[in-house]
Amino acid sequence: MINKDMLSLGQNRSAIRELFEQGKVLKEKYGSENVFDFSIGNPTAPCPSIINEKIKSLANNAGLSIHGYTSASGDKNVREEIATYLNKTYDASVSGYLIYLTVGAAAGLSISLKAVTSGNSDDEVIVFAPFFPEYSVFIKNANAKVVTVNPDYETFYPDFDDFRNKITKNTSAVIINSPNNPTGVFYKKEILTKLCDILSQKEKEFNHPIYLISDEPYREILFIDEKYTFITNLYDNSIVVYSFSKTASVPGERIGYLIVNTNCKNASEVYAAICGAGRSLGYVCATSLFQFLIPHCLGVTSDINIYKNNAYFLYEELTKIGYEVVKPDGALYVFIKAPIDDDNEFSKKALEYNLLLVPSESFGVRGFVRAVNCLSEEQTKRALPKFTELYNYYK
Amino acid sequence: MINKDMLSLGQNRSAIRELFEQGKVLKEKYGSENVFDFSIGNPTAPCPSIINEKIKSLANNAGLSIHGYTSASGDKNVREEIATYLNKTYDASVSGYLIYLTVGAAAGLSISLKAVTSGNSDDEVIVFAPFFPEYSVFIKNANAKVVTVNPDYETFYPDFDDFRNKITKNTSAVIINSPNNPTGVFYKKEILTKLCDILSQKEKEFNHPIYLISDEPYREILFIDEKYTFITNLYDNSIVVYSFSKTASVPGERIGYLIVNTNCKNASEVYAAICGAGRSLGYVCATSLFQFLIPHCLGVTSDINIYKNNAYFLYEELTKIGYEVVKPDGALYVFIKAPIDDDNEFSKKALEYNLLLVPSESFGVRGFVRAVNCLSEEQTKRALPKFTELYNYYK
């Protein structure tokens, strides 16, 4: 009576995790300096020193409350500090009482999706290809269907005609992710506006809310001179999911938050459903020490230039070799067109050169691979001859 | 399209949380020294000093790895250290590769239940009344049915005849919890053996595994001179769920583990289903800083005598007043018979005396209230006149 779906999820690791584990084996065999593990977005910029300092000072003054239960939705003061920061920085108009602290963005997504879908298997959730593969896992956990919208392959923005056609009366939610994993593409305000306009029309047409979930772990990892448009200002029925993992180089600590837009229809009910979903999935509260760390981390990031330099370096050098590369605006990734149609075969071939590149199939498009921009500068440079050899193999 | 079940879970807080929140209001009104909040098992014994010291030393030497992703199932060395400790201390015969680090025991339960039930709504999970109310929430999250076995009201062990009758071909799992929340009762080896014998017979009769999930957050909070019997030694298809919350006074930090018995049928498949369930519910890994703290916390507890003294004091003094009280063997609770049948009404009346006592209905039995033994000794003493007044009200 083991759950077959869970067994299959556990036995078939994500393509990313699979490569990550293969990388470990290769590193033991060839030495880690000779393996170019572009597989996992594990931030390598040192975490801001204030984080370790504040951890120490919290532990120094540790009364019981530091390690004690907080409210299930998180410490009230911490939530208010987040709201104040976001409102000051992004004119976000969010409220502390609609913020819910989460065990990372994955928890935020799985909780939100469970809350805003009926549980009935007719529900549909739209994702824009290419997309982070775990979205499918969390959508299925909510017993809803994954509906994939194709990209415009020139810009890697959504194909808006396809988007319009795929919204049905059963659409419960739409997930966006900018800067994007895996393309690095940033959605400028006019793109978001277009997307929200379509959604608003469809809400009217079908006469029910369609929730827009904005997954923002890369919000501050932005290489271009653009202001981040806070989605709560553009679309009422929106939920923001954030994690400190990538921006503050603390991905193992699983700390983040989600926000229900103050203007969301029945906001307090949506928030209550989120509290219920968190409870149902076994989340009691976000880790308390890291909750109390948040006020000291707001707006604090590790050195984003490390990623920017690597991203632009990879983009330029790979282009010189002959690869077609999507120009990254942010995030931890560079999206590379495979010189053959079959991205899985290309990724396999790359392994022979000790290059670990994630094939794009699991992101919902074919013919690309994803490389991370968070290897060290030196390791990134040393990988170039391998990329050249790999390219030449297909010439 | 908000999920109605989640909305209801979010709007109707657990009876425990509800009282906890009412307690906050009363404390603001009357001052916290005048409110006797016996509602929530929030450990009050100071956390062992080694915890804050090791947090500081981890933060001092923090390379990237301290805050980085670990394997989804947790750091390999940490898992092996847990196994070594348990095998030495309890002759447990467990293996590090079948240990999975969790975000507390709630996560461990919700993950295990999702893994060992089919997802088909026919599945049944047996709990022994009185039981921790969140078990129902996690069982329902796995789309299974809650089946409640009555207690023997003399001993608060299970009514074994009722147990035998309630196991059906659809029984997927059984949850035990010793020392028990809410009764404080400890299951001695002969009780566990009897329980396991019945289960083994039924496994043969129905020809499929019935998983025994042992929820052990109070394992070390034991007041009597008894050896803890590790369930893996008595029953093959068993899963142990543990949390450091209560024993080390770190309930907000959400760190624990689960163990699949090495002798479990298809142990590696059960473990894979657990990994899949964790992934599905949005758990990426347990908080890395606290993972690395575990090797320093094994067998380290806060001062259990604080709870023991309060528990025995409450038991004796309340008995003197005239209450019938279940004698606690461990855990953080004292279970008190209400002088009237309706525990909800009694709990409500108690509020008038600023006494916060959780009514037993949500634990699956009627006519009792639960009080915690983790208020300060002084506060516990100061509550006695209130208990007397409350008792006299019903005389």
- What domains are there in chain A, each with its CATH number? 4-48+302-393 (3.90.1150.10), 63-297 (3.40.640.10)
DSSP symbols for A322-384: T--BPPP-BTTEEEEE-SSS-HHHHHHHHHTTTEE-EEGGGGT-SSEEEEES-S-HHHHHHHH
Tens digit of each residue's pLDDT (9 = 90 or more) over A123-143: 999 999 999 999 999 999 999
Q: Which residue from B140, B251, B288 is facing A68, i.e. has the nearest CB?
A: B251
For chain B, helix (H) and strand (E) counts, in that order, are: 14, 12
A positions 115-134 inside 8 Å of B (CB): 115-119, 123, 134
Give the residue from B154, B106, B164, B165 showing the smallest Cα distance to B132: B106
Determine the Cα–Cα distance for residues B67 and A49; give it in Å rounded to an integer.
12
Mean pLDDT, rounded, for A207-217: 98
For residue A127, give both structure tokens.
């994702």
Mean pLDDT, rounded, for B318-324: 98
B positions 37-96 inside 8 Å of A (CB): 40, 42-44, 46-47, 51-53, 55-56, 59-60, 62, 64, 66-70, 72
Please tell me if residue A273 touches chain B, with a CB cutoff of 8 Å. yes
Please tell me if residue A272 touches chain B, with a CB cutoff of 8 Å. yes
pTM for this prediction: 0.96
Q: Does the pLDDT at position A248 exceed 70?
A: yes
Interface test with B, best of A281, A294, A362, A374 (most B CBs within 10 A): A281
Q: Does the pLDDT at position A386 exceed 80?
A: yes
Length in residues, chain B: 395
Chain B hits for A117, CB-CB cut-off 8 Å, are: 1, 3
Determine the Cα–Cα distance for residues B344 and A126; give it in Å rounded to an integer.
45
Chain A hits for B48, CB-CB cut-off 8 Å, are: none
Looking at residue A175, its pLDDT comes to 98
pLDDT band at A65 (very low <50, low <70, confident <90, very high): confident
Tens digit of each residue's pLDDT (9 = 90 or more) over B162-202: 999 999 999 999 999 999 999 999 999 999 999 999 999 99
Determine the Cα–Cα distance for residues A80 and A95; give it in Å rounded to an integer.
7
Element (H, E) at A36: strand A36-37
Using an 8 Å Cβ cutoff, are B238 and B199 in contact? no
A positions 208-267 inside 8 Å of B (CB): 208-209, 249-255, 266
Whether A4 and B289 lie within 8 Å, measured CB to CB: no
pLDDT band at A42 (very low <50, low <70, confident <90, very high): confident
Mean pLDDT, rounded, for B320-331: 97
Looking at residue B63, its pLDDT comes to 65
pLDDT band at A35 (very low <50, low <70, confident <90, very high): very high
Question: What mean pLDDT, rounded, does chain B reach?
Answer: 95
Residue showing tokens 């939705």 = A73
Question: What mean pLDDT, rounded, does chain A reach?
Answer: 95
Q: Does the pLDDT at position A63 exceed 70?
A: no
Please tell me if residue A16 touches chain B, with a CB cutoff of 8 Å. no
Please tell me if residue A332 touches chain B, with a CB cutoff of 8 Å. no
Cβ neighbors of B379 (< 8 A, separation 6 or more) are B33, B36
Determine the Cα–Cα distance for residues A159 and B191; give it in Å rounded to an integer.
64
For the packed helices B4-11 and A104-115, what is the interaxial angle rounded to 10 degrees? 110
Tens digit of each residue's pLDDT (9 = 90 or more) over A316-356: 999 999 999 999 999 999 999 999 999 999 999 999 999 99
CB atoms under 10 Å from CB of A11, counted, come to 13
Looking at residue B46, its pLDDT comes to 86
CB atoms under 10 Å from CB of A358, counted, come to 30
Mean pLDDT, rounded, for A187-210: 98
What torsion, rounded to 10 degrees, do the Cα atoms A118, B72, B102, B267 define? 100
Using an 8 Å Cβ cutoff, are B67 and A252 in contact? yes
Identity of the amino acid at B212: L
Looking at residue A290, its pLDDT comes to 97
pLDDT band at A64 (very low <50, low <70, confident <90, very high): low
Find the angle CA(A268)-CA(A126)-CA(A188) to the nearest 5 degrees.
85
Determine the Cα–Cα distance for residues A5 and B190; give it in Å rounded to an integer.
37
Q: Does the pLDDT at position B214 exceed 80?
A: yes
CB atoms under 10 Å from CB of B207, counted, come to 7
What torsion, rounded to 10 degrees, do the Cα atoms B7, B8, B14, B20 define? 60
Looking at residue A18, its pLDDT comes to 81
Using an 8 Å Cβ cutoff, are A83 and A99 in contact? yes
For chain A, helix (H) and strand (E) counts, in that order, are: 14, 12
Looking at residue B227, its pLDDT comes to 92
Determine the Cα–Cα distance for residues B296 and B177; give it in Å rounded to an integer.
25
Mean pLDDT, rounded, for B246-259: 95
Stretch among A58-72, A92-106, A162-176 having the lowest mean pLDDT:
A58-72
The better pLDDT of the pair A15, A329 is held by A329
Ramachandran angles phi, psi of A183, nearest 5°:
-90, -20
Whether B60 and A56 lie within 8 Å, measured CB to CB: yes
Looking at residue A216, its pLDDT comes to 98
Q: Does the pLDDT at position A237 exceed 80?
A: yes
Looking at residue B15, its pLDDT comes to 77
Please tell me whether the interface predicted TM-score (ipTM) of this complex is above 0.90. Answer: yes
Roughly how many angstroms between the first and final C-alpha of chain B, as a whole number?
51
Using an 8 Å Cβ cutoff, are B186 and B224 in contact? yes
Looking at residue B207, its pLDDT comes to 97
Mean pLDDT, rounded, for A268-286: 96
Looking at residue B32, its pLDDT comes to 87
Count of A-B CB contacts under 8 Å: 274
Give the residue from B20, B58, B24, B53 showing the smallest Cα distance to B39: B20
CA-based nearest distance A91→chain B, Å: 27
Chain B hits for A286, CB-CB cut-off 8 Å, are: 254
Mean pLDDT, rounded, for A160-170: 98
Using an 8 Å Cβ cutoff, are A326 and A335 in contact? yes
Cβ neighbors of B232 (< 8 A, separation 6 or more) are B92, B93, B94, B238, B240, B259, B261, B262, B263
Mean pLDDT, rounded, for B7-31: 86
Ramachandran angles phi, psi of A333, nearest 5°:
-135, 155
For residue B141, give both structure tokens.
């999250």
Chain A hits for B104, CB-CB cut-off 8 Å, are: 282, 284
Tens digit of each residue's pLDDT (9 = 90 or more) over B64-87: 578 998 989 999 999 999 999 999
Mean pLDDT, rounded, for B3-19: 86
Looking at residue B62, its pLDDT comes to 63
Whether A252 and B291 lie within 8 Å, measured CB to CB: yes
Tens digit of each residue's pLDDT (9 = 90 or more) over B98-107: 999 999 999 9
Determine the Cα–Cα distance for residues A339 and A344; give it in Å rounded to an integer.
12
Looking at residue B24, its pLDDT comes to 84
Whether B283 and A103 lie within 8 Å, measured CB to CB: yes
Looking at residue A32, its pLDDT comes to 87
pLDDT band at B274 (very low <50, low <70, confident <90, very high): very high
Q: Does the pLDDT at position A120 exceed 70?
A: yes
Mean pLDDT, rounded, for A165-194: 98
